[in-house]
Amino acid sequence: MKCVLLAHSPLVEAAPSGLNICSHKYTKVRSEAPVLPRLATFRQAMPKALHIDPADYAKPGALAFPAVPVRTYARSLSEERKRRGDRTLRDVLRQMMVVREFESMLGAFKAKGAYQDIAYSYKGPAHLSIGQEAAAVGQALALQPGDHIFGSHRSHGEFIAKGLAAISRLAPDELTRIMAAHQGGALLRTVEKNLPSNSTEGLAENFLLLGLLAEIFMRANGFNAGMGGSMHAFFPPFGVYPNNAIVGASAGIATGAALWKKLSGDGGIAVANSGDGSTGCGPVWEAMNFAAMAQFCTLWDDGKKGAPPILFFFNNNFYAMGGQTIGETMGWDRLSRIAAAANPEAMHAETVDGGDPLAVADAVERKREILLRGDGPALLDVECYRSGGHSTTDANVYRSKEELAAWQAHDPIATFRAKLVEAGILTISDAEAMQEAARAQIRAVTAAAVDPSISPIVDIRAQPTLIGRLMFSNEQIAPPAGEAALLKAPEETARARQDAKKSRFGLTPEGEKLSPMRAITLRDALFEAILHHMRHDERLIAYGEECREWGGAFGVYRGLAEIMPYHRLFNSPISEAAIVATAVGYALEGGRALIELMYGDFIGRAGDEIFNQMAKWRAMSGGALKLPIVLRCSVGSKYGAQHSQDWSALVAHIPGLKVAYPATPYDAKGLLASALSSEDPVVFFESQRLYDVVEQFKPGGVPADYYRLPLGEPDVKRQGTDLTILTIGPSLYPALAAADALAAQSISVELIDARSLVPFNYEPVLNSLRKTGRILLVSEASERGGFAMTLAANIARFAFASLKAPPRVLGAPNWIVPGAEMETTYFPQIEDIVDAAMLEFFPERKAERRGIRNWNDLELARAGL
């Protein structure tokens, strides 16, 4: 197989000076092997490139922080006129008016059920940005259509401003092409018919406003087919990417988008818009640190050096609902101070006057240049004031009249308008006409959005499974066949030579198990699927904690660091939220991500990112976005209560995630290949106890060539007639031994491995039950709410007529996982499975209990314990 070889990255040379990118980030890179202290007689063979010299850290001193500029914008209006032209300045005013009118319309519907002469009852959320228009329009003025913004619950203004700015920059042909491509041109036709304009630009503005408002009203012709709504609406062709109802969630997603922009060469920057309150969110800090990782400068190959181009743009309106960030809920005095924590450049942070669109534009323009140079990330603290409520149910009890009045005097629209009038850029009557035009435009758009004959409601009665069909694309990419740039031919690595000598099957002809050094293990099988995708698909990147030199916490990636350059395989910070959120951003931009959580128990650290982001964006985009992400989670053992839990049910419960949990090398390779080919997000569980298992079921062993096994198909591992045992994950092995023990008592077991949890084809299980009439489900998850319980409940429904006894679930008890010494008392063991089978299904045999589970689990279950 041909492979493109990259020159070895210059890890052992000192960082070059005088380079633009990263020149400020000099870090000592080892130039010769250091003399290491003798800690042991052996050490890992792939030492880090960066040498940590105690002498460097022993010197006393003091840390200095860069000065963070606060409101230093001082350009005169006459200079701005020269730079931007009067037409642009007038348009800035007009755009702010359009934003305010749009928000006022929603506010009027919420407050009075009417706007101008239009009556409408709008049921959804309205987090309005009245008072914050200069931040949105100033930002958009500095951005190009290819720059991507990600926002918050309060992002209508940013959406409109970015859209208007893109429309003013795109050529009419391009605008027409974009509009015609959306929804097969349906929205464009609606706009042409109901909101005509004599210019393409005018038509595109109406298209933008109607697409957004119809989406807010959850109509079928909304930009996201009515599946997003006020807080989630977006429209990528104008650079408006998902807004997010979870405070701060866009920070990580936008960072992943910036990584895609950097790696794909798509150009432009990503902007994470959020409020000052989001500086209290852990995932925002994780995202900023991820974006500031030094390795982009110290370790990545020359062609890929530089930070992802991400701007963290805080719309700092001094409040998070009723909490005041300054003086009450946060410790910072000026928001931009937080940037000092991220890196020595303090993220080039600045505090700017968010009441002045030109001050904002100036700052964004300067940050954008820094970002495009690879010297990011950047942070802007944009101070502004929300003159309306947090939402329309806000009684404003937390603010004084005096404070509101004081800020009224700084209203961005009134201030900017007065400035332009004073400079003679427009007359008062021009300004009034402009305001009238904005009112008329929003009125016309609103009339079209409320009218169900123009903007049809999403008719779930007529299409009851419409939303269900949006959950998954169920698409797969063709087997990857490209040739990615590699550091070394995979065949030349020690691992490849070693694995090549291994037996593909794990048993000797006499039925003896081979050692993991002599036969392909589950770990090796996973590696083969990963290597195939990585070497043939440049879009795929893999990262997580300890993925590089360590080879993944459990060695699945061992050897991959010799093959893959840093930008394809890298160590992430200990930031589970950022790992998943960046993968979401990277994938929805067009990339593919393979990420790893060391332990499934760390899912909690990335809860929002897995449950609300990775799982939801396909459906919330009305099926427009794809999320090709594989999240590998190992399921631990031996480390006790916080490192040994099977949480597969938690993930399977969340709509929008596919879930696999293979137990054999053959299944692991084929299922991982399918997961990596999937256009839908897959959570892939791997038992740490199984990494060393060799193939014992497939007589031909694990094929060396690439193959896929479909997600969602349970597999009959052994045929039988008296009892079906359905296992999830590693329970397959004790169940197999139990089946042998039961055979000795002339009970013939049919053994089925679930392999996947979502989707799950019940047919093989139901077929089996037609023979056996009895089913025992075994898993290592605690029983209450476990996935085996879901399976059992469904099986009782589907197979009622075939059942001779109720389905029985044997899981772990609903208490903490004890330490290694007590684990066998917790996870179902061979004897426990035999006991459950004998006592539950064959009581007439009067078997003696062999295991230690001598507690009344039925009574506990009846008490819900």
Partner 1 sequence: MDVPIVMPQLGNEIEEAQVDEWLKAVGDEVGVGEPVLTITTPKLTMEIEAPASGRLKEIKVAAEELAAVDAVLGVIETE
**From 245, 477, 507, 805, residue interacting with ligand TPP (rule: CB under 6 A):** 245
C-alpha angle with apex 765: 763 to 769, nearest 5 degrees?
115
Least distance between partner 1 and beta carbon 555 (Å): 3
Which residue's CB is nearer to partner 1, number 192 or number 562? 562
Least distance between partner 1 and beta carbon 137 (Å): 55
Which residue's CB is nearer to ligand TPP, number 320 or number 775? 320
Which residue's CB is nearer to partner 1, number 45 or number 63? 45
- Options 327-335, 491-499, 528-536, 580-588: segment touching partner 1 (CB under 8 A): 491-499
What is the rounded distance in angstroms from the CA atom of residue 441 to the CA atom of residue 757? 51
Which residue's CB is nearer to ligand TPP, number 279 or number 678? 279
Long-range contacts of 434-437 (CB under 8 A, 24+ apart): 434/90, 434/93, 434/94, 434/97, 435/97, 437/94
Q: Which does 692 bind (CB under 5 to 8 A by kind): partner 1, ligand TPP, none?
A: partner 1
Write out the catalytic residue numbers. Answer: 643
What is the rounded distance in angstroms from the CA atom of residue 656 to the CA atom of residue 669? 23
Phi (first) and psi of residue 10, to 5 degrees: -80, 60
DSSP E strands in 287-416: the ranges are 310-316, 319-320, 323-324, 350-353, 378-383
For partner 1, the binding residues in 517-576 under the rule CB under 8 A are 517-518, 521, 523-524, 551, 554-555, 558-559
Q: Does 32 bind partner 1 (CB under 8 A)?
A: no
Q: Which does 591 bind (CB under 5 to 8 A by kind): partner 1, ligand TPP, none?
A: none
Which residue's CB is nearer to ligand TPP, number 276 or number 832? 276
Least distance between ligand TPP and beta carbon 231 (Å): 8
Q: Which residues are within 8 A (CB) of 450 and not within 5 positions of it... i.e. 6 or more apart? A: 118, 120, 217
Least distance between ligand TPP and beta carbon 282 (Å): 10
- Options 96-104, 318-326, 657-665, 722-730: segment touching ligand TPP (CB under 6 A): 318-326
Count of residues making up the chain: 865
Q: Which does 832 bind (CB under 5 to 8 A by kind): ligand TPP, partner 1, none?
A: none
- Options 77-85, 311-319, 667-675, 848-856: segment touching ligand TPP (CB under 6 A): 311-319
Q: Does 277 bind ligand TPP (CB under 6 A)?
A: yes
What is the rounded distance in angstroms from the CA atom of residue 143 to the CA atom of residue 367? 11
**From 1, 18, 32, 41, residue interacting with partner 1 (rule: CB under 8 A):** 41
Q: At what angle do helices 282-291 and 576-588 cross, to 10 degrees?
A: 70
Q: Does 724 bind ligand TPP (CB under 6 A)?
A: no
Q: Does 247 bind ligand TPP (CB under 6 A)?
A: yes
What is the rounded distance in angstroms from the CA atom of residue 598 to the CA atom of residue 643? 10
One-character DSSP codes across 480-520 = P----EESS-GGGSHHHHHHHHSBSSSB-TTSPBPPTTTB-
Q: Which does 567 bind (CB under 5 to 8 A by kind): partner 1, ligand TPP, none?
A: none
CB half-sphere exposure, 42, CA atoms < 13 A = 2
**From 276, 345, 528, 753, residue interacting with ligand TPP (rule: CB under 6 A):** 276
Which residue's CB is nearer to ligand TPP, number 607 or number 655? 607
Q: Are 272 and 150 in contact (CB under 8 A)?
A: yes
Which residue's CB is nearer to ligand TPP, number 94 or number 390? 390
What is the rounded distance in angstroms from the CA atom of residue 423 to the CA atom of residue 510? 95
Judged by CB under 6 A, how many residues of this single chain contact ligand TPP? 16
Helical H segments across 409-493, by residue range = 412-422, 428-450, 466-470
What is the rounded distance in angstroms from the CA atom of residue 271 to the CA atom of residue 269? 7
- Options 4-12, 292-300, 312-320, 574-582: segment touching ligand TPP (CB under 6 A): 312-320
Q: Which does 278 bind (CB under 5 to 8 A by kind): partner 1, ligand TPP, none?
A: ligand TPP
Least distance between ligand TPP and beta carbon 323 (Å): 8
Q: CA 644 from chain center: how many Å?
A: 24
Residue with tokens 């409408």: 120
**From 230, 278, 688, 727, residue interacting with ligand TPP (rule: CB under 6 A):** 278
Q: Are 808 and 773 in contact (CB under 8 A)?
A: no
**From 43, 75, 469, 513, residue interacting with partner 1 (rule: CB under 8 A):** 43
Copy the structure tokens of residue 280: 């209290």
Q: Which amino acid is at 270?
A: A
646 closest CA partner among 717, 747, 729, 577: 729
Which residue's CB is nearer to partner 1, number 669 or number 808? 669
Q: How many Cβ atoms are within 10 Å of 860's Cβ, its own excluded?
A: 15
- Options 59-67, 132-140, 420-428, 513-521: segment touching partner 1 (CB under 8 A): 513-521
What is the rounded distance in angstroms from the CA atom of residue 42 to the CA atom of residue 343? 35
Q: Which does 246 bind (CB under 5 to 8 A by kind): partner 1, ligand TPP, none?
A: ligand TPP
DSSP E strands in 211-277: the ranges are 240-243, 270-275
Judged by CB under 8 A, how many residues of this single chain contact partner 1? 26
- Options 244-252, 432-440, 562-570, 773-781: segment touching ligand TPP (CB under 6 A): 244-252
- Options 18-26, 211-219, 270-278, 745-753: segment touching ligand TPP (CB under 6 A): 270-278
**From 7, 17, 38, 54, residue interacting with partner 1 (rule: CB under 8 A):** 38
Binding mask 152-171 for ligand TPP (x = CB under 6 A): -xx-----------------
Q: Which does 665 bind (CB under 5 to 8 A by kind): ligand TPP, partner 1, none?
A: none
Q: How many Cβ atoms are within 10 Å of 52's Cβ, its own excluded?
A: 10
256 closest CA partner among 300, 297, 293, 303: 293
Q: Which does 193 bind (CB under 5 to 8 A by kind): partner 1, ligand TPP, none?
A: none
**From 463, 498, 642, 745, residue interacting with partner 1 (rule: CB under 8 A):** 498
Which residue's CB is nearer to partner 1, number 43 or number 75? 43
Q: Which does 678 bind (CB under 5 to 8 A by kind): ligand TPP, partner 1, none?
A: none
Least distance between ligand TPP and beta carbon 248 (Å): 7
For ligand TPP, the binding residues in 379-398 under the rule CB under 6 A are 390
Q: If residue 583 lies in a helix (H) or strand (E), which one and from where to where? A: helix 576-588
504 closest CA partner among 665, 701, 690: 701
What is the rounded distance in angstroms from the CA atom of residue 783 to the CA atom of residue 521? 29
- Options 39-47, 338-346, 649-657, 829-837: segment touching partner 1 (CB under 8 A): 39-47
Least distance between ligand TPP and beta carbon 365 (Å): 24
What is the rounded distance in angstroms from the CA atom of residue 165 to the CA atom of residue 570? 36
What is the rounded distance in angstroms from the CA atom of residue 555 to the CA atom of residue 569? 14
Phi (first) and psi of residue 241, to 5 degrees: -100, 175
Could you give the C-alpha distances from 663 to 317, 525, 732, 752, 832, in angstroms and in order?
Answer: 52, 11, 7, 11, 20
Least distance between ligand TPP and beta carbon 386 (Å): 6
Q: Does 516 bind partner 1 (CB under 8 A)?
A: yes
Q: Does 317 bind ligand TPP (CB under 6 A)?
A: yes
Q: For residue 808, list its beta bridge partners.
A: 776
**From 17, 18, 32, 45, residue interacting with partner 1 (rule: CB under 8 A):** 45
Least distance between ligand TPP and beta carbon 540 (Å): 30
Copy the structure tokens of residue 583: 């993968």
Q: How far apart are the first and last CA of the chain?
A: 57
State the residues that interact with ligand TPP by CB under 6 A.
Answer: 153-154, 245-247, 274-278, 315, 317, 319-321, 390
State the residues that interact with partner 1 by CB under 8 A.
Answer: 38, 41-46, 494-495, 497-498, 501, 515-518, 521, 523-524, 551, 554-555, 558-559, 691-692
